[in-house]
Amino acid sequence: MAPAYAQSSRAASALIGACLIAACGAPAPEQSAAGTTRTNCGIDVTVDAPPERLYAAYQPGIEVAHALGLGDRLVGTAFLDAEVLAEYADEQARADYVPSLPSREGLLATRPDFVLSGYNNIFAENSGDSSVGTRASLHELGVQTWILSPLCPSEDGLTDRAIDPASVTVDGVYHDLRGLGALFGAEDAAEHVISDMRERIATVEAQVDGAERPTVAIVSPGEDGGYRVASGIDFGTRIIERAGGVNAFADLTGQRNLDVGAEELVERDPDVILTDLCCGADLTRADARSEVRAIMSDPALAGVTAVAEGEVHPFLFADRAAGVRAAHSIELVASRLHPDLVGQ
């Protein structure tokens, strides 16, 4: 169904009818003369033909679009957390880009027929980010949507505080690639990316198999001497596990990002700390050295094993994203946790 644009979603709905949005039942995809359907975060996503006007939001969504070879279909991109992976730099340089999420009006002005988002806040009704409206409200306009599965909210319109922990898996990334590949007619590209990711991750897992698993914390200095850490339901936990480590905060599962005091970081005493620098389209890991220095120079953390032994390493918020960057990040983290076993 081609998207219809109007002054309001109510008027548009009267023109084109409402798209069907149903809770996920049987996971099997549907293909018929009526179009192609894949289920994403409990919502059926149906296209009559491969979408031609894609809007991609957030780092993982943008990088997935490029990985599938959809750069020539991008009508807009928004909110990068860091430089895109080197293999996508040329394509991204040609794409329209804005540093902040668009308003609903700004999004619709690009006339998208599909919105791919790396995180769910863009569709959240009570998000601190700029919301373009719920997925249901966009589907009413004929604009199909997709959230990368490891960030599925428990229902449409909620923020990433409502993630289903069961969805936070590397397999979820493969599911996304296959689903999007089918919808966009990019099945071969999807399978190529999946095969490459599987092979690289399997290589790392074989290299670290049987090795001692150090505890790891993904940490960003906060205000008033506190710190933000990645919890057990963050995709960073899956990266750490595949790289041969254990998230020191894995037992905390209330939300992805948690604020803790220096005293809790001391009590958890991680063997390795990874920084969590964000956000800007030109950020690199070299920029994260400022966070390394801040953590290493905090007298309250002097007794933490990672600080005492100089095991605080530059890492980016983008590196813990649930997308095609996962294989790169697992290799990087493994090289920090097991430098004698894994090269970088």
Model confidence pLDDT, tens digit, residues 263-308: 999 999 999 999 999 999 999 999 999 999 999 999 999 999 999 9
Q: Name the residue among 311, 305, 319, 294 with its Cα closest to residue 234.
A: 319
Place 162 in a pLDDT band, splitting at 50, 70 and 90.
Answer: low
Q: What is the pLDDT, as a whole number, of residue 142? A: 96
Please report, for residues 87, 183, 195, the alpha-carbon distance to residue 190 in angstroms, rounded to integers and kept in the order given.
16, 11, 9
Cβ(101)–Cβ(129) under 8 Å? yes
Cβ(41)–Cβ(60) under 8 Å? no
Residue 10 above 90 pLDDT?
A: no
Kindly state the average pLDDT of the residues 60-78.
98
Calpha distance 210→207 (Å, rounded): 9
Residue 151 above 80 pLDDT?
A: yes
Q: What is the pLDDT, as a whole number, of residue 11? A: 38
In the DSSP assignment, the letter for residue 44 is E
Residue 63 above 50 pLDDT?
A: yes
Distance from the Cα of residue 202 to its chain's centroid: 21
- Indicate the range of 81-85, 154-158, 256-260, 287-291 predicted with least confidence: 154-158
Q: Which residue has the higher pLDDT, 214 or 157?
A: 214
Place of tokens 């990019």: 186
List CB contacts of 130: < 8 A, sequence separation 6 or more: 100, 101, 102, 103, 122
Dihedral of alpha carbons 179, 185, 191, 197, sign:
negative
Query: Which helix (H) or strand (E) covers residue 137, if one does?
Result: helix 135-139
Torsion angles phi and psi, residue 210, rounded to 5 = 85, -10
Token pair of 124 as six digits: 């959240």
Kindly state the average pLDDT of the residues 40-66.
97
Model confidence pLDDT, tens digit, residues 209-257: 999 999 999 999 987 889 999 999 999 999 999 999 999 999 998 888 9
Spell out the domains of the chain, with CATH numbers in brackets: 9-185 (3.40.50.1980), 210-337 (3.40.50.1980)
Residue 22 above 90 pLDDT?
A: no
Query: Which helix (H) or strand (E) covers residue 108, if one does?
Result: helix 104-109
Calpha distance 139→214 (Å, rounded): 45
Place 160 in a pLDDT band, splitting at 50, 70 and 90.
Answer: low
